[in-house]
Amino acid sequence: MSLRFQRLILILITLVILGVAIILILFNTKQNIVFFYTPTELIENNFAIDKKVRIGGYVKKSSFIKKSLNTYEFKITDNVNELLVFYNGILPDLFREGQGTVIEGFLNNKKNIVASKVYAKHDENYMPESIKKELEKNNQWKKKL
């Protein structure tokens, strides 16, 4: 084997080892890298009440209540467990019932949270409005989701 191919193999092996090391680090610090927890993860794990957490899920259908001009109350769900959210502030444009959302705030207990920030999360589906209407007409819409 010539010297240049020895060097090539050395470089590739080094890269693989480096990659494995980084992957090990990332997967063992997963708890710190995730941006939000789901309501189920919240119940399974123990979180300090006075620590800031972010919880993500869908805004539960017909759970949204507007208390006053800027005060809202709604439930977020991951289709298994749900969490009651109190929020005082401005909601993003995309926020609506059934839409994905991430909220940041302090837990009162495992069932409700006072949010200080609400982010809207959207999925990877892009389509023109006309096609969505077409899909709804043929009852294909729910299947696509």
Q: Please give the residue ranges that form the binding site for another protein (CB under 8 A).
A: 4-5, 7-8, 11-12, 14-15, 18-19, 22, 26, 30, 33-38, 56, 90-95, 102, 117-132
3-state secondary structure of 64: coil
Q: Are strands 112-121 and 82-88 parallel, antiparallel or unpaired?
A: parallel
Q: Specify whether the CB–CB gap between 70 and 115 falls below 8 A.
A: no
Which H or E element spans position 131? Answer: helix 129-137
Question: Minimum Å distance from CB 60 to another protein?
Answer: 18
**Please, which residue, 14 or 108, has the CB nearer to another protein?**
14
Alpha-carbon gap, residue 77 to 83, rounded angstroms: 6
**Please, which residue, 38 or 60, has the CB nearer to another protein?**
38
Question: Minimum Å distance from CB 104 to another protein?
Answer: 9
**Please, which residue, 67 or 92, has the CB nearer to another protein?**
92
